[in-house]
Structure 1
Amino acid sequence: MKSKRIAILLCVALMLCLLFSTTAYAAGTGDVAGAIEGTWTTASQQIKTVVNKVVFPAIDLILAVFFFAKLGTAYFDYRKHGQFEWAAPAILFACLVFTLTAPLYIWQVLGM
């Protein structure tokens, strides 16, 4: 019974892949590399915009929440034990600074 369900699920997944896939043809010359490069050059600006305006701010928000939460728990641990642990808040702060400044230089590093 279980193997029958798995087989049906795989068949449905295969049918969906075949249904939604399209064949990409290179222009009449058969230059596949040129077709891929042309697609990349037209899409790269859109990718940059989405990453700069959606991905980096989402990562920044998550890191900021984790940083302040970890800072708060480290403070309460300090009040309880008398020793402040700097490692985790420092790492989160460094990651936050990295992701906040990344849109300024990451595209030159990647060569885009």
Structure 2
Amino acid sequence: MTKNKKYVLCLVVALLVCFAFSTTAFAAGKGDVAGAIENTWNDASGQIKTVVNKVVFPAIDLILAVFFFAKLGLSYFDYRKSGQFEWAAPAILFACLVFTLTAPLYIWDVIGL
């Protein structure tokens, strides 16, 4: 086969695969797309809230806690070496950690869920 025929054949196969695995979504009734999106959001918002509260926030908290204690240890070693303790980085990490630990209590009211 020539080079052009191979490219055309690959393109045709890719298009057929796209058409085979794609679906058309229609809004129910009079074509109210905004209503369909709103209903989908209302159905999924509870699940999204649960996943964010039980998976995302704890993962972020864990990462920030590890970084906070590592930076605190490194700051202590720098203090022993130079005699001056650098508070900025541990303070910022601690503030972020407190923010993400308390975020599930108020973030959903801010967003409006």
Query: What is the TM-score with the length of structure 1 in the denominator?
Result: 0.83
1:75 is matched by which residue type in structure 2?
A: Y
- The match for 2:48 is 47
What is the one-letter code of the residue matched to 1:82? G
Q: Which range moves more in the overlay, 24-33 or 54-63?
A: 24-33
User: CA, structure 1 residues 42+86, in 2 after alignment: closer, same or farther (shift >3 Å)?
Assistant: same
Give the structure 2 partner of residue 70 of structure 1: 71
Q: Distance in 2 between matches of 1:99 and 1:65?
A: 14
CA drift of 1:28 comes to 2.6
The separation in 2 between residues aligned to 1:94 and 1:25, in whole angstroms, is 47
Kindly indicate whether residue 82 of structure 2 is the aligned counterpart of residue 81 of structure 1: yes
1:16-55 alignment, distance < 5 Å? 20-55=21-56
Q: Classify the secondary structure of the residue corresponding to 1:83.
A: coil
Q: Residue 44 of structure 1: CA displacement?
A: 0.3
Counterpart Cα distance in 2 of 1:39 and 1:77: 53
Give the C-alpha shift of residue 105 in structure 1.
0.2
- Give, as a single letter, the amino acid of the residue that structure 2 aligns with 1:32: V
- The amino acid across from 2:89 in the alignment is A
- Which amino acid in the other structure matches residue 97 of structure 1? V
Matched residues in 1 for 2:90 and 2:21: separation? Answer: 46
User: Against the structure 1 CA distance between its residues 93 and 14, is the aligned structure 2 distance closer, same or farther, given a 3 Å change threshold?
Assistant: farther
Q: Shift in Å at residue 53 of structure 1?
A: 0.2
What is the aligned partner in structure 2 of residue 98 from structure 1? Answer: 99
Measure the CA separation in 2 of the matches of 1:111 and 1:58: 23
Q: Which amino acid aligns with 1:100?
A: L
Q: Could you tell me how far 1:24 is from its partner in structure 2?
A: 1.7
> Whole-Å Cα distance in 2 between the matches of residues 65 and 14 of structure 1?
47
Equivalences, count:
103
Q: How does the TM-score come out when normalised to structure 2?
A: 0.82
